[in-house]
Amino acid sequence: MRILVSGSSGLIGSALTRALASGSHTVVRLARSSVRVDGASVSWDPERQTIDRAGLEGFDAVVHLAGEPILGRWTAAKKRRIRDSRVLGTQLLAEALGSLAQRPSVLVCASAAGYYGDRGGEILTEDSTPGRGFLAGVAQAWESAAESARGAGIRVVHIRTGLVLARAGGLLKTILPPFQLGLGGPIGRGRSWWSWITLDDLVAAYRFAIVREGITGAVNAAAPNPVTNADFARMLGAVLKRPALLPVPPLALRLVFGREAADDAMLSGTRLHPARLLAAGFRFQYAELEAALRRVLGF
């Protein structure tokens, strides 16, 4: 297959492009013309709403991962970049793909578990209602922005991703140093649910969504056994053979990141169930947290 990938330099994009290329697919990057890329590329500038439409012709599939990082203090400008990079970028790409003479058969778009908002211990499937809050609103608009591609007959999939476990980035890169020093622990009382997935399984889920024609719409990309934050901290400490008893006060996160970013992105929780992946026959290589952490950390 000939596959176009946006956001190919990020944690997920880098791993996915390597996996696709090793599977004998031809991978082309959708990248800003000012950014150096290795190999073939198609240019776009989502901020200026420009894209090389002729360069989009003839792809079998498109994977759209580009978006402003969530972490950081949410100033008004930061929130605008978070939203616009997802909504306007997706809208530009979807409209361009829908206008082509040779359209791809599938557009697989990144989305997030934040779609559901903070729902406590409620088990959330793809049919659950959307939540409230900034990230939930962004995720809903993000998914809606691909509607023009769907209307043009392109199969559209939204990968609602949980916390990604990878040594080189994502959640573990942020929290691993204090845990390695024996200074880690749960956030507050540790009651929030953490829906997690290894990078290996997430890449496999994207590849599965590309080729499995029956998969369409939202897909929860999280292992089938989520845990509370307290259980996650306890297991990470056990794998590292370090104590994990020092709780992180919510106040500390709010002082560093601001109340809205801390409450919406770090102190909230989602308990995802990957109903559509499991029903379609997808098999998680790492369904249990201990095995996942040992794989990622090399223990």
The structure's pTM equals 0.94
Task: For residue 213, tell me if it sits in a domain.
Answer: yes
Task: For residue 45, tell me if it sits in a domain.
Answer: yes
pLDDT in tens, 148-193: 999 999 999 999 999 999 988 888 888 899 999 999 999 988 999 9
pLDDT in tens, 107-124: 999 999 999 999 989 999
pLDDT in tens, 37-59: 566 889 999 999 999 999 999 99
Distance CA 4, CA 69 (A): 21
Task: For residue 236, tell me if it sits in a domain.
Answer: no
| Degrees, nearest 5: CA angle 97-138-185 | 125
pLDDT in tens, 86-104: 999 999 999 999 999 999 9
CATH number at residue 120: 3.40.50.720
Task: For residue 256, tell me if it sits in a domain.
Answer: no
| Residue 34 in this model has a pLDDT that exceeds 60 | no
Task: For residue 201, tell me if it sits in a domain.
Answer: yes
Sheet strand arrangement including 169-169:
169-169, 163-166, 196-198
> What residues contact 178, with CB distance under 8 A and at least 6 apart?
184
User: Per the structure, how many domains does the chain have?
Assistant: 1
Distance CA 107, CA 105 (A): 7
- Per the structure, the complete domain to which residue 146 belongs is given by 2-164+196-224+271-286
